Amino acid sequence: MAFTVNVKNASGFAPALAEREVLAAHETLVNGTGRGNDFLGWVRLPLQNNEEELARIEAAAAKIRSNSQVLLVIGIGGSYLGARAAIEFVRSPNYNLVVKDSPQVIFAGNTLSAWQTAEIFDMLEGKDVSVNVISKSGTTTEPAVAFRLFREYMEKKYGVEGAKERIYATTDKAKGALKSLADANGYPCFVIPDDVGGRFSVLTPVGLLPIAVAGIDIRQMLAGAKSMAEKLIHDKSMHNPAWVYAATRNALYRKGYTTEIFASYEPRVRYTAEWWKQLYGESEGKEGKGIFPASVELTADLHSMGQYIQEGERFLMETVVGFAEADETLQVPFALKNEDGLNFLAGHAVSELNNMAEAGTILAHMDGGVPVMEVTVDNASAYCFGELVYFFEFACGLSGYLLGVNPFDQPGVEAYKQNMYALIGKPGFEDRRAELEKRL
């Protein structure tokens, strides 16, 4: 088996894009000749062998695993979604509840909720803790505020010297507030490359350290990404699965399918969907354009969003991420009295039911007017996660160029920050503050 993309239930809904158009987007991406080309470090990242960095990450992870019951990861957006996606996908969506052989990984600094932050303090009680603070600049409000709070906590708990043994910074190689702070305090540093944006950073130390702490084989993950990169960079044809996905979703978008639902039949894929929503939403949602990314967890949400998908407004397309292999251990038991009438299922594997639900739903949605694309990986290994990550990243670059935007900037993220700074009284924002307060 292998990684596949299947669009037979989608391609009939819109005229296909010309192959030369996809080729042009491919050349633009691979040759670095398009908009945002100073942020293309992720394209060849998995082809590089940075043994020294990997060894440092593995050593830090081993130390954290040996001296901590909790790794607190402080980061927002691309600085936590990739790691959380990997941990849920490879280990479990209930990782912190069930884990026994690795530290819990608790994500902080991705909220300004005082309730949530106070609760994290409760969750640390009685446990040994390490902290990985992840920020390119060190001045993004959410993680910076959280790091102030948790650094103080660590220094109280372990002393200033002790805290140095337990705080790891993932940040710029040379500049920025977090880099200065880390250097001044002697925290070990890992580098966020200059040419890799946050939403493309899961295969850099941003993702690698927390993922390794969770007991996942990061070399296998990188090997999966590498094999995918070799395929996608070199195959200039419609056999390239990234071409198929990017071309199909753009063809559908031009035909009026403006919303894409990322669906999976496994709860472990939920945060991969959240990671995907940032990747595509932030890369494409600009200049009044872009496919709106949404997600569902099936079959659960067939009993909530299912009605809308089947019969609501017809601007939906769906992308199902599935698994080729199935564990058939768990079977539906036979019941002597058959009170629920389910004996016709007895002896079937639960995973077989899930597969039939998936196959049946794809056809039902297609019949209801929703084009469905299918992305299938073999299993929930680190290797397959790496494949999936690189596939979606590469297809995202292609897709953004097909759409005609710069897929690597995010100018709209500033708007709320400027207003927040003004309202909270940041020096230099006095005029804006006066203006906004009139409107509250």
Residues that are catalytic: 282, 303, 417
238: contact with a copy of itself by CB under 8 A? no
When binding is defined by CB under 8 A, the residue of 12, 98, 101, 336 that contacts a copy of itself is: 98
Q: Which is nearer to a copy of itself, 172 or 274 (CB)?
A: 274
288-291 own/partner pairs: CB under 8 Å, 24+ apart: 289/403, 289/404, 289/405, 290/403, 290/405, 291/249, 291/253, 291/257, 291/258, 291/259, 291/260, 291/317
439 binds a copy of itself (CB under 8 A): yes
Indicate whether 265 belongs to the interface with a copy of itself (CB under 8 A).
yes
Q: Residue 122: which H helix or E strand, with range?
A: helix 114-124
Query: How many residues interact with a copy of itself (rule CB under 8 A)?
Result: 129
Measured distance CA(228)–CA(127) in Å, rounded? 39
Stretch that binds a copy of itself, among 16-24, 60-68, 189-197, 421-429 (CB under 8 A): 421-429
Give whole-number Cα distances, 188 to 150, 152, 201, 307, 395, in Å.
17, 18, 19, 51, 34
420 near a copy of itself (CB under 8 A): yes
User: Considering the complex, what minimum distance in angstroms separates the CB of residue 228 from a copy of itself?
Assistant: 23
How many CB atoms sit inside 10 A of residue 370's CB? Answer: 23
Phi and psi angles of residue 384, each rounded to the nearest 5 degrees, phi first: -65, -35
Q: Which stretch, 15-23, 59-67, 241-249, 262-270, contacts a copy of itself (CB under 8 A)?
A: 262-270
Under rule CB under 8 A, residue 142 binds a copy of itself: yes
Q: Which amino acid is at 173?
A: K
Q: Binding to a copy of itself (CB under 8 A): which residues in 11-70? A: none
* Residues 322-351 contacting a copy of itself, CB under 8 A: 326-330, 332-333, 335, 337, 339-342, 344-345, 348-351
The minimum distance between CB 373 and a copy of itself, in angstroms, equals 16
User: Which residues, listed in sequence order, are joined to residue 131 by a DSSP beta bridge?
Assistant: 72, 167
Q: How far is Cα 327 from Cα 380, in angstroms, rounded to an integer?
A: 11
77 lies in the site for a copy of itself, by CB under 8 A? yes
- Say whether 211 sits in a helix, a strand or coil: helix
User: In the window 156-185, what residues touch a copy of itself (CB under 8 A)?
Assistant: 177-178, 180-181, 184
Do 71 and 378 contact (CB within 8 A), yes or no? no
Binding mask 384-413 for a copy of itself (x = CB under 8 A): --------------------------xxxx
